[in-house]
């Protein structure tokens, strides 16, 4: 097959490309230039898709012996990932830019261009596996190395995208084996640090980065009963589950710390409360997709596991597709997921990925959550008290 190998400049994508060549495929390497600042360099493990990464990818392609190109996707990346990130935070949601990049850049824009140029598939260094079932349907599964499994961030892939995807590292027992293989192949990236944090915020200061783009407007901090207990310099700087940086002068009635429970961008307010109120009994989202064949009857509750972060433990749950609950959503449906035990600190905008065993069944962007502790309820272990301002 003609394979387009997406080469980030890291060890995983380099070894994946080398394995595709070794398997007998006709491989071409491509590096995606996503930054509008091409002179940017990495700082240790922070940042990616920089000029340094491009040069590392070039050297790896030379060693492997494949043609190599750099494609400028910076405009598409800004619109579909960076601007989306800002818009989601402005709307009071907590987005996952890696999910958006996989969905809209690597397996939408890149795959679309690859197919138009006559390639059969896009190869990446993700740790995930594709399995073909008895009916010929391609399924996305967890990688052999659970510690490096990246099936969560690939949960946005559709059946059509899986049909043209290749993940050569899926059955590799460990990252250490990949690094050893890279060294044996003479690849200089064998010991290159993995990238962490958001690639377009390499210094890790998300709050400062957002403030520069959204601005800071003072608003109120409320308790669950609607009482004003403090102020802030911009609701966009807060995420559900946050504890630090609230600067609330009035102590809670029970003396315990408060956590961000909700961000309301329309009124520029932040709602805080006890840690127990972060427990979520149900999540739902209308922007859902299936990774391969959909359930035979998604309207009938089915057993599954749900994962809400890339490295979170999956939780047993029951899921179903139902009509959206409000009149203005007429005709729309949503995926409703009820975990058997409460999820903690879930925010709208996060992605919930649904698994059945090792298989990724699908995903949804979370639109709404239902707290396991209703307003006015006394958290376990707390004494009843009246709200104070």
Q: What's the alpha-carbon Rg for the chain, to the nearest Å? A: 23
Cβ atoms within 10 Å of 356's Cβ, excluding its own: 15
d(CA 19, CA 7): 13
Residues forming a β-bridge with 230: 221
Sequence-ordered list of residues with C-beta below 8 angstroms from that of 151, at least 6 positions apart, any chain? 127, 128, 129, 140, 141, 142, 143, 353, 360
For residue 199, indicate whether it is catalytic: yes
Beta-bridged to residue 371, according to DSSP, are: 280
Strands 287-290 and 333-339: unpaired
Q: Which pair of structure tokens corresponds to residue 321?
A: 């597709």
Task: Give catalytic status of residue 49 as yes or no.
Answer: no
In what order do the strands lie in the sheet containing 68-72? Answer: 68-72, 26-33, 2-6, 121-123, 165-166
Catalytic option among 48, 98, 101, 123: 101
- For residue 308, with 0-12 CB atoms within 10 Å meaning exposed, 13-18 middle and 19 or more buried, which class applies? buried
In the beta sheet, which residues pair with residue 363?
A: 289, 353
Catalytic one among 48, 49, 123, 199?
199
**DSSP character at residue 175:** H
E strand or H helix at 116: helix 110-116
Helix axes 51-64, 11-22, angle to 10 degrees: 20
Residue 34 burial (CB < 10 Å; 0-12/13-18/19+)?
Answer: buried
| Residue with tokens 């750099």, as numbered in its chain | 70
Beta carbons within 8 Å of 213's beta carbon, 6+ residues apart: 86
Residues whose CB is less than 8 angstroms from the CB of residue 378 and which lie 6 or more positions away in sequence, other chains included = 384
Catalytic residue list: 101, 199
């Amino acid at each position: 097959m003609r394979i387009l190998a997406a080469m980030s400049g890291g060890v995983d994508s380099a070894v994946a490309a080398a394995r595709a060549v070794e398997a007998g495929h006709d491989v071409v390497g491509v590096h995606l230039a996503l930054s509008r600042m091409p002179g940017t360099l990495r700082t240790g493990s922070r940042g990616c898709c920089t000029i340094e990464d491009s040069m590392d990818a070039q050297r790896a392609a030379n060693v492997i012996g494949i043609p190599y190109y750099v494609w400028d996707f910076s405009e598409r990346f800004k619109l579909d990932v960076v601007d989306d990130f800002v818009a989601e935070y402005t709307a009071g949601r907590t987005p996952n830019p890696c999910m958006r990049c996989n969905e809209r850049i690597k397996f939408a824009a890149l795959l679309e261009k690859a197919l138009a140029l006559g390639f059969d598939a896009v190869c990446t260094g993700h740790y995930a596996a594709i399995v073909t079932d008895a009916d010929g349907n391609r399924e996305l599964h967890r990688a052999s190395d659970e510690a490096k499994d990246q099936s969560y961030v690939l949960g946005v892939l559709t059946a059509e995208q899986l049909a043209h995807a290749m993940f050569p590292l899926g059955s590799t027992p460990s990252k250490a084996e990949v690094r050893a293989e890279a060294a044996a192949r003479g690849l200089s990236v064998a010991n290159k640090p993995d990238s962490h944090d958001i690639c377009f915020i390499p210094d890790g200061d998300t709050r400062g980065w957002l403030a520069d783009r959204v601005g800071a407007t003072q608003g109120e901090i409320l308790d669950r009963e609607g009482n004003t207990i403090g102020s802030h310099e911009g609701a966009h700087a807060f995420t559900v589950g946050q504890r630090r940086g609230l600067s609330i002068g009035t102590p809670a009635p029970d003396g315990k710390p408060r956590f961000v429970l909700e961000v309301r961008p329309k009124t520029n307010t932040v709602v805080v409360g006890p840690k127990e109120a972060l427990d979520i009994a149900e999540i739902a989202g209308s922007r859902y997709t299936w990774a391969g064949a959909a359930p035979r009857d998604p309207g009938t509750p089915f057993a599954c596991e749900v994962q809400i972060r890339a490295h979170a433990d999956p939780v047993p749950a029951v899921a179903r597709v139902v009509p959206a609950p409000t009149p203005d959503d007429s005709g729309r449906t949503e995926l409703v997921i009820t975990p058997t035990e409460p999820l903690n600190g879930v925010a709208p905008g996060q992605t919930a990925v649904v698994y059945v065993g090792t298989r990724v069944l699908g995903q949804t962007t979370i639109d709404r959550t239902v707290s396991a502790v209703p307003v006015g309820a006394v958290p376990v272990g707390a004494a009843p008290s009246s709200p104070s301002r």
